[in-house]
Amino acid sequence: MAHRVAELIEAAEDDEAARDQASDLILRLWSHRSDWPHGWPPANAEVVRHALVRRQRRLEENDPANMKAGPWIGRFGKLARLQEEELDIWRRLGLSALDFSDEFDAVEDFENDLSQEERSYLTSLKMSVDAAHGHFRDELGEDSKDPVKRAELAKRELRALGRKRGVLFRDALAEEE
């Protein structure tokens, strides 16, 4: 393919039809770049993107209709919030452990060649990664790059959520009795 593009580009200097063919072939190649071995989206980033998609929560924490359903179902909204906090902890650990330098370098190197969707995708990923690193920097300071220290912090955060979950359970149990 590269040889054909090169031939067309060379012929395009003197031939408008060849110029059109070269342009068409280059555009078709570009539109199919996701089929390339290292195409779109970047494999490393795509795996993480699926894990980062947040699920819609149907039960709002303070919805009076939920409370009418009893002490257990009435607390689904609060439980969903606690689960989302736990997902955030896992998300931060995961994002801080991965290297996205190739993907972020691609944004700088090929920014003008990326579609709006591609730029938005990578910008969103970068913001998530930066937020994860920022959380660890805020909480751990100079130790923020130490994976053991990050895991210890996450363990403390998970224990705190466990205590909140226990209070939620005890409150529902007490209300049921």
Question: pLDDT tens-digit profile of 89-133?
Answer: 999 999 999 988 888 887 777 777 778 888 888 888 889 999 999
Domains of the chain, residue spans: 1-31, 40-176
Q: What's the pTM?
A: 0.66
pLDDT band, residue 54 (cuts 50/70/90): very low
More reliable by pLDDT, 164 or 38 = 164
**One-letter amino acid for residue 81 of the chain:** R
- CB atoms under 10 Å from CB of 105, counted, come to 10
Helix (H) or strand (E) holding 59: none
Q: What is the pLDDT of residues 135-171, one digit of tens each?
A: 999 999 999 999 999 999 999 999 999 999 999 999 9
Give the whole-angstrom CA distance, residue 84 versus residue 133.
19
Compute the distance between CA of residue 107 and CA of residue 116 in angstroms, rounded to an integer: 11
Cα-flanking dihedrals φ and ψ of residue 124, to 5°? -65, -45
Q: Do 42 and 106 contact (CB within 8 A), yes or no? A: yes
* Residues 6+ away with beta carbon under 8 Å from 59: 66, 76, 77, 80
- Judge whether 40 and 33 are in contact, CB under 8 Å: yes
The chain-wide mean pLDDT, for the chain, equals 80
45: Cβ contacts below 8 Å, ≥ 6 apart? 100, 103, 121, 122, 125
Q: Hey, what are 98's tokens?
A: 């991965």
